[in-house]
Structure formats: C-alpha cells, structure tokens
Amino acid sequence: MNLFKGAGVALVTPFNADMSIDFPALRRLVQEQIAGGTNYLVVQGTTGESPTLNSSEKKQVLETVLEENNGKLPVVYGAGGNNTMSVIEAFKNIPKGVDGILSVAPYYNKPTQAGYLAHYKALASETDLPIILYNVPGRTGSNVLAETTLELAEIKNIVAMKEASGNMEQIMEIIRCKPENFLVLSGDDAITLPLIAAGADGVISVVANSFPAQFSQMVTSALNGDFEKARKFHYDLLPVTRLMFAEGNPGGVKIALEELGWMKPFMRLPLVQVSEGLKAKIVAETKKLTK
C-alpha cells in the first residue's frame, strides 16, 4: 500500500463568485500538486466541501481530476457517511482510475464500537478497492478507538487509517500494534512530523494545497530519517498551518490559494470566508513562504 504513503493532499473545490465550480482552477490545482511533489490526491473529502456538492457535481469534480492527473498520481475518492447502504451505493458508481476510497466514520448517529466494526465490514465486502478509514471525532461526534481500528486493520482491503483524533496515545497504540502493511496517516497537519517520528506513514494534508513542495519535502525528509531537514520545513509551515484552521477549514487555505493566484476564496454556505484580520495574517505568512 505504498500508494498512500507520504504526502497526500485533500483537494479543495474551487468556486466562482456565483458558486459554480471553477474547473480551470481545479485543473491548475492538480498540476501544482503534481509539480510540487505531492504523492497522491484525495478528491471530495471534507476539505473539498463535499457536503455542499450534489452527486452530479461530485462526479464532475472527480472526472476532471482524473483527466487532468492523467495517471500521474494515485487518486483517492472520499465516499463516506452515516447511512451504510447509501455509502455502498456510492461505491458502485466510482469510476475506473480511482485507486482507493477514503471513508469517514459515521457521524451524528454516534454508533458504538460494534457499530463502527459492522459498518466498515459491510463497506469492505462491497468493493475491491483499498479503503482508508478516517477518524475525526471533532466532526463526527464520536471516536473510533484503537482496538476497533486494529480489528478492522485485519481486513484485506482496509489498508490505512487517517487519524485526526489528536490523541497521540491512541495513535501510537495503533502504530505499535498494527499489521505490517497497514498504514497510519496523520489527519492533522500540525502534528504530522511528530507522528512520523513515532512511526506513522504520512499525512492527508490541507496545507499541501497551497504549499505542496514544502509540505511534501517535510514528509519525505521525515520518512527518510532526515529530521533536521524535516524540522526546518515543519517550523516554517507551522505558523500558517495554525492560521489556516483558526476559523475552520477550508476557509484559511483558500486565502493562501487566492494569494498564490490559483483560485478565488469562495465557499458555499453554510461556510463563510474568514475574517479580514485572519486573512491579513494568512496573506503575510504566505508571502514569507513564497518569497
């Protein structure tokens, strides 16, 4: 499963002022990721504002990324939810060219650990594609425990966990006990370096949208054991990383992307653009990183 090792990027969805999808900007973003050294692309995760796109738009976004990428990088598609049967239906419509699925833990329903096990086992039985689990309690309302992740890791096509619990002890327990070929991926940009130092295999990043070269070099250096070089990139990126999440995601990273000239910062409701004060800080940090 080396396809998903290293620096993945959770692609944003660019919008025009009328809130239609800005497909030229999306193509530009894909090309910047390829040029910047990103290892793989994640389409229609939460960073892509997937809850606000209808099924037709999601299909168009995925097809555009696949076409522009043209096989250069592995592509992971976000297909998760709190209705197991609906997720299974979504799996059936995933086109050729997709290399894996990122599937968030069911949200709002707050299932038990037995419910998480049954949900993911049902999904795994309905596809041959590799599945990356995604634990993000801050969004879903409940936590997939380490022992649950480890039981799911024994299923052949469940190949990785994107861990965004922020619980270092929990994540390290997964790393300590996991099967050899099961990957642990950081779901928090700011703690990617310490997690790799603890044995994690990479990250699915938000910040890499705007700084693919710096972020991928940080991850690659850390995975290669060059922590002196990795720390330099980590601390250079840390201020802007904090700012990007200060008023929610992807509002912050879209300001950096606007400053770079890659897209406009529009988001669909209920998300709104970040405050002017935060915008000024993100712009200043972006200029520092790109001068």
Q: Is the pLDDT of residue 223 over 70?
A: yes
- The pLDDT tens digits of the residues spanning 130-154 come to 999 999 999 999 999 999 999 999 9
- The pLDDT tens digits of the residues spanning 161-177 come to 999 999 999 999 999 99
Can you give the pLDDT at residue 41?
Answer: 98
State the pLDDT confidence band at 2, using cuts at 50, 70 and 90: confident
Can you give the pLDDT at residue 1?
Answer: 61
Residues with active-site annotation: 134, 162
Can you give the pLDDT at residue 99?
Answer: 98
Q: Where are the domains of the chain?
A: 2-223
CA dihedral 234, 74, 159, 51 (to 10 degrees): 80
State the pLDDT confidence band at 204, using cuts at 50, 70 and 90: very high
Q: Taking a C-beta distance cutoff of 8 angstroms, is the pair 16, 264 a contact?
A: yes
Quote the CA–CA distance of 105 and 135 in Å, as a whole number.
6
The CATH topology of domain 2-223 is TIM Barrel (3.20.20)
